[in-house]
């Protein structure tokens, strides 16, 4: 394992609201994550695990503390710079899929490539490959409404990996899926982690989903209270 951590958190806090209404979602988290890890972040509702993941994914900014991603001090970056980190290094999978409605699977998968300025042919080729690698080679033209939940999540995964990111963030990726589909999706994520070397950070509260991960941390009241270690 690489000595230099991929992600390094020191004393990270996040407070929502101000004054009496202030709510401390994270109260000083220290965490190192290395390349190639498959990390499951667990914890009850309101423990701060989603907040932690959103900050790690540069979707949200911390109130204080330090977050280094590949040696970049993320908390000092502005919104545009964080957008560029997301564009070039990160992929996201959400519980609610978050695909563009009324847009074909192929166009949804192409979307990140558009912002990377790829040519039409490159976009098509990469998007087709990505859809094929998640097992949907024949659903290119279908819109989300024409796909099952599991298929939509596969499209979302294809969209997340089409740019070959270093790190994949998954927020309750199987929360809206039945158990059979859940295991198919988790197998797919495990395959991406082991065969393609993509680091995966996944938030979940289901134990049988978490077992696919190699490392587990447990968050309670804004702090990591258990870490299975890498």
Partner 1 sequence: MLFNALLIALREIRRNLTRSFLTVIGIVIGVAAVVTMVTLGRGATQEIKQQISKMGSNLLILRPGQGWWNWGAPQFTIDDVEAIRDQVPGIRKLAPFVQTNASAVYQENDRNTDIRGTTPDYFDIGNWQIASGRIFTEDEVSEAAPVCVIGETIRKELFGEGVDPLGSKIRVKSMTLEVIGLTTIKGQGGFGEDMDDDITTPYTTVLRRLTGRGGGRNISQVMISGKDGYPGAHIVADVSSLMRERRKVSHNEQDNFNVFDSLQLADVISSSTKVMTSLLGAVAGVSLLVGGIGIMNIMLVSVTERTREIGIRLAIGARAREVLLQFLVEAVTLSCVGGITGIILAYALCDILADVVGAPFIFDPGINMIAFVFSAAIGILFGFMPARRAASLDPIEALRHE
Shortest reach from residue 91's CB to partner 1, in Å: 8
- Give the Å distances, CA to CA, from 144 to 93, 98, 137, 147, 201: 15, 10, 15, 5, 25
Q: Which of 64, 83, 148, 226 binds partner 1 (CB under 8 A)?
A: 83
Ramachandran quadrant class, 152 (left: phi over 0; alpha: psi -120 to 50; beta: rest): alpha
- 102 binds partner 1 per the rule CB under 8 A: yes
Whether the Cβ atoms of residue 67 and residue 59 lie closer than 8 Å to each other? no
H or E, element range at 224: strand 223-227
Q: What is the DSSP string of 88-129?
A: HHEEEE-TT--PPTT--HHHHHHHHHHHHT--HHHHHHHHHH
Nearer to partner 1, 37 or 107 (CB): 107
Shortest reach from residue 166's CB to partner 1, in Å: 13
- 154 binds partner 1 per the rule CB under 8 A: no
- Total residue count of the chain as it appears in this document: 230
Shortest reach from residue 229's CB to partner 1, in Å: 29
Whether the Cβ atoms of residue 106 and residue 140 lie closer than 8 Å to each other? yes
- 88 binds partner 1 per the rule CB under 8 A: yes
- 60 binds partner 1 per the rule CB under 8 A: yes
- 65 binds partner 1 per the rule CB under 8 A: no
Number of residues that bind partner 1 (CB under 8 A): 30
DSSP 3-state of 23: strand
Shortest reach from residue 207's CB to partner 1, in Å: 26
Nearer to partner 1, 152 or 212 (CB): 152
Residues in touch with partner 1 (CB under 8 A): 54, 57, 59-61, 79-80, 83-84, 86-88, 90, 92, 94, 98-103, 107, 111-112, 114-117, 159, 163
């Amino acid at each position: 394992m690489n000595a230099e951590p991929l992600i390094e958190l020191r004393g990270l806090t996040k407070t929502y609201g101000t004054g009496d209404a202030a709510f401390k979602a994270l109260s000083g988290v220290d965490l190192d994550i290395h390349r190639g890890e498959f990390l499951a972040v667990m914890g009850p509702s309101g423990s701060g695990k989603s907040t932690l993941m959103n900050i790690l994914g540069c979707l949200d900014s911390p109130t204080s503390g330090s977050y280094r991603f590949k040696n970049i001090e993320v908390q000092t970056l502005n919104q545009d710079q964080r957008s560029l980190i997301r564009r070039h290094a990160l992929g996201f999978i959400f519980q609610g899929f978050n695909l563009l409605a009324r847009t074909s699977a192929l166009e949804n998968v192409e979307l990140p490539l558009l912002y990377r300025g790829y040519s039409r042919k490159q976009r098509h080729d990469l998007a087709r490959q990505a859809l094929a690698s998640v097992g949907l080679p024949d659903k290119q033209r279908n819109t989300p409404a024409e796909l099952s939940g599991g298929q939509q999540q596969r499209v979302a995964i294809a969209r997340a990996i089409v740019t070959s990111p270093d790190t994949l963030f998954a927020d309750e990726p199987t929360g809206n899926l039945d158990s059979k589909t859940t295991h198919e999706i988790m197998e797919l994520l495990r395959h991406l982690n082991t065969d393609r070397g993509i680091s995966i950070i996944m938030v979940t509260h289901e134990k049988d989903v978490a077992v696919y991960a190699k490392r587990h941390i447990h968050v309670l009241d804004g702090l990591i209270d258990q870490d299975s270690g890498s």
